[in-house]
């Protein structure tokens, strides 16, 4: 009798294990398949619209791409794949890193593409965007300036230097105008190729609750250059990096 009882116990345990396996394996497989689907595609009808927020890109373009792909907002071709997702970029795309322009270009392209799928891209201004707008360039990398350079950048910079000298001559006694190669080289070091193109990309208009007004884009090369060095009254200048 004891042997029969033990045999029944073993069979009962075996049957229970088999039953659990038959139940859990399909569930696990379904979960595994679901995990391979981008989050943006696993929406439930009637559920709240999905919101994704990303901040502090700081010119790290490749890392930015990786995050966007990971959360299902872009496909392998870097096109919008987020469906009706709302993507909020919480500011601080520029500065520190080497590929700010590529990150901004991608963000603007996604902003144009998202509405076709019912999605939306909302870019916000962080303190680094504002710093760029007011001419605070202390965190811009040389690679960022270079990314804005064109085949005409040498000519643009030469003309800017001539305008700068004229501006200084008009506002100071003529003997105070630097006229040596050392001064010229120092000016060139402060204004690498792509500097003025990068400044133009940001210095379009400033909008407040009182309306929009032109910023340094409407000024001459010399005045803009002087603004960034803090030598023109009324200009918001960048703090010294020394």
pLDDT for 181 equals: 83
| Cβ atoms of 217 and 203 closer than 8 Å | yes
Provide the pLDDT confidence category of residue 171 given band limits of 50, 70 and 90: confident
| Catalytic residue from among 58, 78, 128, 191 | 128
Active site residue 128: yes
What are the residues whose beta carbons fall under 8 Å from the beta carbon of 63, sequence distance 6 or more? 57
What is the value of pTM for the model shown?
A: 0.62
Nearest Cα neighbor of 129 from 67, 188, 65, 204 is: 204
pLDDT for residue 18: 57
Average pLDDT score over residue span 172-199: 81
């Amino acid at each position: 009798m004891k042997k029969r009882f033990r045999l029944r116990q073993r069979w009962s345990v075996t049957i229970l294990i088999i039953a659990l396996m038959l139940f859990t394996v399909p569930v696990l497989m379904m979960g595994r398949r679901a995990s391979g689907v981008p989050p943006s595609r696993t929406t439930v009808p009637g559920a709240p619209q999905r919101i994704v927020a990303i901040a502090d890109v700081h010119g790290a373009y490749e890392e930015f791409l990786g995050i966007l792909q990971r959360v299902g907002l872009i496909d392998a071709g870097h096109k919008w794949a987020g469906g009706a997702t709302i993507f909020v970029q919480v500011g601080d795309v520029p500065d520190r890193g080497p590929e700010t322009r590529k990150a901004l270009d991608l963000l603007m392209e996604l902003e144009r593409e998202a509405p076709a799928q019912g999605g939306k891209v909302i870019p916000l201004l962080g303190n680094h965007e504002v710093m760029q707008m007011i001419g605070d360039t202390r965190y811009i990398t040389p690679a960022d300036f270079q990314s804005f350079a064109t085949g005409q950048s040498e000519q643009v910079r030469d003309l800017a230097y001539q305008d700068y000298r004229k501006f200084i001559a008009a506002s100071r006694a003529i003997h105070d105008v630097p006229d040596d190669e050392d001064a010229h080289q120092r000016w060139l070091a402060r204004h690498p190729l792509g500097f003025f193109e990068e400044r133009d990309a940001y210095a379009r208009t400033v909008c407040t609750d009182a309306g929009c007004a032109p910023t340094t884009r409407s000024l001459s090369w010399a005045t803009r250059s002087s603004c960034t060095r803090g030598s023109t009254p009324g200009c918001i200048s960048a703090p010294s990096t020394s």
